[in-house]
């Protein structure tokens, strides 16, 4: 009887593992392509390297100082990838580098932010964004945030959606192995180790899935934007004649909260909410 029960438990566990693996593969279906990427920590620099021929050509032009031609090639490649439903954090990163070199700060930040959205754990991109922000005219203080929320976000941004999903799958498989040891081992110490390790692993599984879902949701439902115009008034209502709240400048990042015809309601880092004409900014 006990032998039959063990077989039933094992069969159930393996079925759950199979479904969990398939579910995780579905949850990580974020269409990205990272070919032809060469990165380092210095702002707006590329090391020579491999990749597709067209991106090697862009790197050669960049290194020779022909940044405009490099931008043209990279923009064409970006459009080609988008027509196939693909995005590349590396391609966005290189576009950010190139636009920075020609002093188009707003576009440089736009592409760095897009690269970071796809690969939130990339330190080079974060470094470059921090550097670009020193070149932006607006210095908006960030509103106070609960420290646990900051920690939660920092941990979430360590990896991309795909990476968190992979961590979740691996942790779940290890959790199942702990269950097997707990149910079938004859040694008390092994059972205890499997029990406590299993608790840790199931916590990792839960948070890895939460982080993966949140990262994927940020990619699918983009609600941040970069001011592209040299300067733009932020007004109290979606009307050109409404009260002006403040002036925002190129490169400033805002959060989009609502839309009304050709207007977008946005929030800036200090918590101020107002309206900006849609044509003055670009969604990340």
Residue 182 lies in a domain: yes
| Shared domain check, 214 and 242 | no
DSSP letter string, 208-255: HHHHHHHHHHHHHS--EEEE-SSEEEEESSSSTTSPEEEEEETT-EEE
Q: Can you tell me the distance from the alpha carbon of 216 to that of 118, in angstroms, rounded to the nearest whole number?
A: 9
Residue 179 domain boundaries: 147-220
Residue 159 lies in a domain: yes
**Residue 47 pLDDT:** 35
Residue 158 lies in a domain: yes
Residue 12 lies in a domain: no
| Shared domain check, 195 and 258 | no
DSSP letter string, 23-68: HHHHHT---B--TT----SSTT------S-HHHHHHHHHHHHT-HH
Q: What predicted TM-score, i.e. pTM, was given to this entire model?
A: 0.77
| Shared domain check, 214 and 244 | no
Residue 14 lies in a domain: no
Q: Can you tell me the distance from the alpha carbon of 3 to that of 178, in angstroms, rounded to the nearest whole number?
A: 19
| Shared domain check, 113 and 76 | yes
Beta bridge partners of 283: 225
| Shared domain check, 113 and 40 | yes
The domain boundary residue, chosen from 174, 189, 220? 220
| Shared domain check, 199 and 269 | no
The domain boundary residue, chosen from 142, 171, 189? 142
CATH number for the domain that contains residue 59: 1.25.40.10
| Shared domain check, 163 and 230 | no
CATH number for the domain that contains residue 255: 2.30.30.40
Residue 166 lies in a domain: yes
| Shared domain check, 105 and 37 | yes
How many domains does the chain divide into?
Answer: 3
| Shared domain check, 161 and 112 | no
| Shared domain check, 208 and 114 | no
How confident is the prediction along the chain (284 residues), in pLDDT tens digits per residue? 545 455 545 554 544 444 444 444 443 333 344 433 334 333 344 433 334 677 788 888 999 999 999 999 999 999 988 899 889 899 999 999 999 999 999 999 999 999 999 999 899 999 999 999 999 988 887 776 677 788 888 899 889 889 999 999 999 999 999 999 999 988 999 999 999 999 999 999 999 999 999 999 989 899 999 999 999 999 999 988 899 999 999 999 999 999 988 999 999 988 899 999 999 999 99
**Residue 28 pLDDT:** 35
The domain boundary residue, chosen from 79, 111, 142? 142
Q: Can you tell me the distance from the alpha carbon of 284 to that of 282, in angstroms, rounded to the nearest whole number?
A: 6
Q: Give yes or no for a contact between 88 and 100, defined as CB atoms under 8 angstroms apart.
A: no
């Amino acid at each position: 009887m006990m032998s039959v029960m063990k077989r039933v438990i094992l069969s159930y566990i393996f079925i759950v593992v199979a479904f969990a693996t398939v579910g995780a593969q579905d949850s990580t279906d974020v269409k990205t392509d990272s070919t032809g990427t060469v990165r380092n920590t210095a702002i707006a620099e590329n090391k020579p390297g491999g990749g597709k021929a067209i991106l090697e050509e862009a790197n050669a032009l960049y290194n020779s100082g022909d940044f405009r031609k490099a931008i043209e090639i990279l923009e064409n490649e970006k459009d080609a990838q988008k027509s196939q439903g693909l995005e590349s954090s590396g391609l966005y990163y290189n576009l950010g580098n190139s636009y920075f070199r020609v002093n188009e700060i707003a576009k440089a930040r736009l592409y760095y932010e897009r690269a970071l959205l796809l690969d939130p754990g990339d330190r080079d991109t974060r470094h470059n964004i921090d550097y670009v922000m020193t070149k932006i005219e607006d210095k908006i203080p960030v509103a106070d945030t609960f420290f646990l929320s900051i920690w939660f976000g920092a941990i979430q941004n360590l990896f991309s959606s795909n990476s968190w999903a992979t961590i979740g799958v691996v942790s779940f498989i290890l959790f199942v192995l702990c269950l097997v040891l707990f149910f079938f081992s004859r040694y008390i110490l092994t059972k205890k180790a499997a029990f406590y390790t299993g608790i840790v692993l199931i916590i990792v599984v839960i948070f890895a899935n939460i982080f993966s879902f949140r990262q994927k949701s940020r990619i699918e439902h983009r609600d941040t934007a970069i001011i592209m115009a040299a300067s733009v008034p932020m007004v109290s209502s979606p009307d050109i004649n409404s009260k002006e709240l403040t002036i925002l400048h190129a490169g400033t990042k805002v959060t989009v909260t609502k839309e009304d015809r050709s207007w977008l309601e946005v929030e800036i880092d200090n918590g101020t909410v107002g309206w900006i004409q849609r044509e003055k900014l670009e969604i990340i």
